[in-house]
Amino acid sequence: MKGQLPADDNRPAGTVVDRKTASPWSAHLVPWRSRITAIIVLTVVVLVVAAVATTIGSVSIPITDAIKVVLDRLPFIDFTPTWANGTGIIIADIRLPRVILAGLVGAALATAGATYQGLFRNPLADPYLIGVAQGASLGAVAGFVLPISASFLGVGIIPIFAFAGGLISMVIVYLLARQGKSLPVTTLILAGVALSALLSSVVSYLVISSGDKMHSILFWLMGSFSLSQWSDVRMVLPYIIVGTGIILLYARSLNVMQLDEEQAQQLGINVERMKIILLAAATLITAAAVSFVGTIGFVGIIIPHAVRLIWGADHRFLLPLSVLCGAIFMILADLISRTILAPTEIPVGVVTAIFGAPFFLYLLRRRKKVIF
Amino acid sequence: MIKIELDNVAIGYYRRPVLRDLTFNVLPGDLVGLIGPNGSGKSTIIRALTRIITPLQGKIYLDGRELSTITRHELSQMLGVVPQLPLLPSAFTGFEIVLMGRNPHLGMFGNEKARDLEITWQAMEMTGTADLAKRIIGEMSGGQIQSLLIARALAQETRAILLDEPTANLDIGRQIEVLSLIKKLCRERNMAAMAAIHDLNLASQYCNRLVLISGGRIYKHGTPAEVITAENIRAVYGAEHCVYRHPLNGLPVVLVDGNVNSGIEGAKNG
């Protein structure tokens, strides 16, 4: 037994020693600086990608014009319009809301995926694992099929039905899985998978019996940003900010949760409360994300893993980096979906997998290390 | 100083008691050994003391306070736990696992300071695990993980500690190191420690008191010499003629004679 401190006893008196470099534990300081640099750099990348994405499309617009148009819309800044007539509308009313919504949805799905994976200690978890997507799909399909064409606060019936469907299915799964005061994760996942299967067969039946609406339903199910408007952004934004904010606060506790629930409790984590709060927050942002744009797959499972491969599994960085990488990935996926076969749009859910999977497999092969 | 008290406690799962009439104390400076056959409920007692399960009956006190009135966060500052070979995430390094022992001392949203890293490092040095700091769990043996978990409980800086089979996966050298360390901490820091121990000889040598569990009750409670007797061992484990005196310190030792048909078939270990 070496009981003594990592001391520097043999130093001549008066030697100045920098504790940080002298201590053997200094090698284990959390690499805050490099990770914070990554966060700052990626934030800039998000802005650049978003700016570039607004310039590309059926009409190509110089980036200087695009930036001027955006700045012009802000209070106190005025430019004499040097750009073509339609440019302002294309940038500010069509492409910008679309790009921003894509970024928000990508960020939300990646964050929710990282949260579920951390909470369930399961690398296969994604935001749709416990029934949110199927519930939202059923809600949306019901909105398509039912002969109602009402709207609420300027929002169509489909997003509202989808949002409600996602939340309701989550509540059902929660109530089914709850045992007394505790919420066993395995039961939760099994209940979610079972309910998903049930709902998805109802959705399938509704789709094949929907006649001429089948195409638009399928397009929604695979996900698309083609109808994005500013009102969508305004509806989705508060949920995603609040939900993501709550999740980020629990980042270090999620690290401890990786041990297992019993050990996390013995180390002072109120596991049951944390599970409920994080489930609610992750479900809220998932439901908000899919309600307007459909159940876009792949992002929620792959982005967190890609972040883990590159920057490690510490949730204090995994979560914010997933927010940023999810946003970048989705903006690019949407850009590809609307440009690659223009003027036809392919569903963005198809793009995320076709372009994302090879990239992820590349990362997986290149870094052969334990990530989970 | 902290004292663990059990007062007429019954514990079980799904309202069916596994153990009842548990009454004993762990005083500051004590290293109490929980012994008993497989499945006798040693781990269940530890789970009840850490509030993973609630007693069906009776009260548990820690530091004079009823256990259920202590918040989980407070409890984790008072009571460290070394679980029995749990699954650990394989991507974490040894240092990261031990550092989690500092969680009870960090606020909900706080981060580790240099002091936490230093305490973590000291705990690793004390348990001889410093060389595991940079290795990942996936590459470690059961014994190495066991030592890390002990280091984590020390990093927790609690005044009471519970250990569930702390020596189960260790070789004889490490067993001696670990139990000597725990005994030393009990004496020097006046910690209250309780360990579920399978090995009766280790229990006899290192614990100052033993609680022998059998048949859902405390079969015998006292010093090693009072608990490990030929009679008790026969009654609880069904093993005959195996208790002797240690030639140097006179404490009871349990020796097996492979040439004698021990009465295992007739064992009644409840």
**Chain B environment of A252 (Cβ under 8 Å):** 103, 106, 109-111
Pick from A1-15, A199-213, B21-35, B129-143: least confident: A1-15
Nearest Cα residue in chain A from B115: A25
Provide the pLDDT for residue A295.
87
% of chain A beyond a pLDDT of 70: 88
Provide the pLDDT for residue A303.
93
Of B92, B121, B156, nearest to A24 by CB-CB distance is B121
Nearest Cα residue in chain B from A121: B89
Q: Over the stretch A169-194, which tens digit does the pLDDT of each residue have? A: 999 999 999 887 788 888 999 999 99
**Chain B environment of A121 (Cβ under 8 Å):** 89
CB-count exposure of residue B125 (10 Å: 0-12, 13-18, 19+): buried
Report, in this order, helix, strand and coil percent for chain A, each rounded to 5.
70, 0, 30
A182 touches chain B (CB under 8 A): no
Contact B205, B251 (CB under 8 A): yes
CATH superfamily label, A50-366: ABC transporter involved in vitamin B12 uptake, BtuC (1.10.3470.10)
Query: Would you say residue B194 has pLDDT above 80?
Result: yes
Query: Would you say residue A14 has pLDDT above 50?
Result: no
Residue A320 to chain B, least CA–CA distance (Å): 15
B113 touches chain A (CB under 8 A): no
Question: Which one, of A107, A112, A103, A153, lies nearest residue A136 by Cα?
Answer: A112
In terms of average pLDDT, the best of A26-40, B103-117, B195-209 is B195-209
Tokens found for residue A98: 């679309």
Provide the pLDDT for residue B268.
46
Residue A270 to chain B, least CA–CA distance (Å): 6
Residue B90 to chain A, least CA–CA distance (Å): 7
Tokens found for residue A260: 């297992």
What CATH number should be reported for the domain holding residue B233?
3.40.50.300
What is the Cα B200 distance to its own chain's centre?
14
Tokens found for residue A246: 């709550």
| Strand ranges inside B44-115, DSSP E | 57-62, 65-66, 79-82
Number of compact structural domains in chain B? 1
Q: Where are the domains of chain A?
A: 50-366
B73 touches chain A (CB under 8 A): yes
A267 touches chain B (CB under 8 A): yes
Provide the pLDDT for residue A32.
75
Return the amino acid letter for B54: T
Given pLDDT bands bounded at 50, 70 and 90, which one contains residue A34?
confident
Pick from A37-51, A107-121, A216-230: least confident: A216-230
- What is the rounded average pLDDT of the residues A191-198? 93
**Chain B environment of A249 (Cβ under 8 Å):** 108-109
Question: Which one, of B91, B88, B114, lies nearest residue B102 by Cα?
Answer: B114
- What is the rounded average pLDDT of the residues B188-194? 91
The verdict on a CB contact (< 8 Å) between B121 and A6 is yes
| C-alpha to C-alpha distance for B187 and B206, rounded to whole angstroms | 12
Mean pLDDT in chain A?
84
Given pLDDT bands bounded at 50, 70 and 90, which one contains residue B255?
confident
Q: Over the stretch A311-332, which tens digit does the pLDDT of each residue have? A: 888 899 999 999 999 999 999 9
Mean pLDDT in chain B?
88
Domain containing residue B210: 4-266
Of A27, A29, A260, nearest to B87 by CB-CB distance is A260
* ipTM of this complex: 0.85
Report, in this order, helix, strand and coil percent for chain B, each rounded to 5.
40, 25, 35
**Chain B environment of A17 (Cβ under 8 Å):** none
Query: Would you say residue A216 has pLDDT above 70?
Result: yes
Q: Which helix (H) or strand (E) holds A194?
A: helix A185-208
Residue B103 to chain A, least CA–CA distance (Å): 6
**Chain B environment of A248 (Cβ under 8 Å):** none
Of A30, A260, A371, nearest to B91 by CB-CB distance is A371
- What is the rounded average pLDDT of the residues A105-128? 91
Given pLDDT bands bounded at 50, 70 and 90, which one contains residue A154?
low
